[in-house]
Structure 1
Amino acid sequence: MDFDSPFTFLFLGLTVLISWQAIERPQLLARLLLWPPAVQRQGQYDRLFTYGLVHADWGHLLFNMITLYFFGRLIESFLSQQFGLWAFPLFYVSALLVSVLPGYFKHSNDPNYRTLGASGAVSAVLFAYILLQPWNLIFVFFIPVPAIVYGVLFLGYSIYMDRRGSDSINHSAHLWGAVYGVVFLIIAEPRVLSFFLQSLLNPLG
């Protein structure tokens, strides 16, 4: 384990382990994913967090965990230096909750609505990284793209797909996770905003 970012690796290991078990055991998957009737009628409020520990398939899991691995370590290091060891787990776990609540309330009366995956929290981590390193290159399908450009395209795509509602991906969680990541970091350390704006005006560093 990397002792400079222990919680990033803890979340990685826990998510991979539980997702693996849930993919193999549909009963476990059904118990941990977010399903509004189970929360409202059975009081299973833990689902508002455990949904982020399970994934639909290995591709879904791999994409989220690779993103968490590359960007979570920097954000954990930054938050730990500024606010202490527990800042990053607070950020990540609260991002799971905040990113899913808009979709949950929107579909609270829809018994067919189910969602799972760490995408909301991972989006929060990614966009916190974009605030700190807006011009660093992110490799999207092996194509280098500046982080800020990727962020703008990602937000536009998430808004568009969320309005269309034509697939099973929780684009709302992606969007609100991204917003939460930015807001959390600015509130926690307001100087980040001025640093980000200065960086935007100086792409060559």
Structure 2
Amino acid sequence: MEVFYQSPATFVLIAANVIASMIAFSNPRFMEQNLFHVGPILQGREWHRIVTSGFLHGGFFHLLINMYVLYGFGRLLEHPNVLGTGGFLIVYGAALLGGSFWSLLENRRKPDYRALGASGATSGIILSVCLFAPFATLILFVIPMPAVVFGVVFIVLSAVLAQRENKVIGHEAHLGGALAGLIATMLVRPDALSIFSEQVAARLGGG
């Protein structure tokens, strides 16, 4: 229980994702009414989809990956010395909304476009962690690299891949979530950029 009390928001968000996804797995109507679908959002004004789609997943593996990321990075950000519970929730929420709105902007002329998943929000918390621990080792496509390099590569790759046609991964949501997460982190912790800069300067200076 001590672990829960140290990171309550992380565990509540994991539970919400798991419960909503499990319901959707066995209830196609629930899934259809809550996933990200451009046509109903813009034409039917079903704005709830912008949020609810961030708690649904396409399968158990999709859910597992996002919850693994949320568990690992969420607990780091929710620590009182980093963002705290309130700050973490603000960053997570901003990343979720940022990913959805960016995806809506990119696909506004594609009424049939559909998407789902927490990866917009989890992209934001990964990039947020990069500000506080730029030289922590993260892995991208089985390649280990410093978090600061990971962040740059992730944003560039997401921006490039979002322009591809017939994509099966919502890279635009990753990009929007990552950028929103970074901005929200700097609003919640105005010294975050200084923390990042000092660590980079110390590493480059051999300190």
Shared topology, TM-score over 0.5?
yes
1:42 aligns with 2:44: yes
Match of 2:152, SS?
A: helix
Gaps of 5+ in 1: none
Report the alpha carbon displacement of residue 91 of structure 1 after superposing the two structures with TM: 2.4
Report the alpha carbon displacement of residue 143 of structure 1 after superposing the two structures with TM: 5.0
Give the structure 2 partner of residue 79 of structure 1. Answer: 83
Report the alpha carbon displacement of residue 109 of structure 1 after superposing the two structures with TM: 3.7
Report the alpha carbon displacement of residue 93 of structure 1 after superposing the two structures with TM: 2.0
Deviates most, 64-73 or 32-41: 32-41
The TM-score with structure 1 as length reference comes to 0.89
Distance 1:96 1:194 in 2: 25
Report the alpha carbon displacement of residue 172 of structure 1 after superposing the two structures with TM: 0.7
1:15 aligns with 2:17: yes
The TM-score with structure 2 as length reference comes to 0.88
Give the structure 1 partner of residue 148 of structure 2. Answer: 148
Identity value in percent: 34
Distance 1:197 1:87 in 2: 21
Report the alpha carbon displacement of residue 139 of structure 1 after superposing the two structures with TM: 4.0
After superposition, the CA RMSD in angstroms is 1.9
Distance 1:169 1:5 in 2: 29
Distance 1:165 1:184 in 2: 30
Q: How many residues align?
A: 201
1:174 aligns with 2:174: yes
Match of 2:162, SS?
A: helix
| Compared CA separation, residues 162 and 62, structure 1 to 2 (3 A) | same
Q: Deviations over 1:94-119 (max 9, x none)?
A: 32112211221332342211111111
Would the aligned equivalents of 2:103 and 2:173 in 1 still touch at CA under 8 Å?
yes
Distance 2:125 2:45 in 1: 29
Report the alpha carbon displacement of residue 188 of structure 1 after superposing the two structures with TM: 2.2
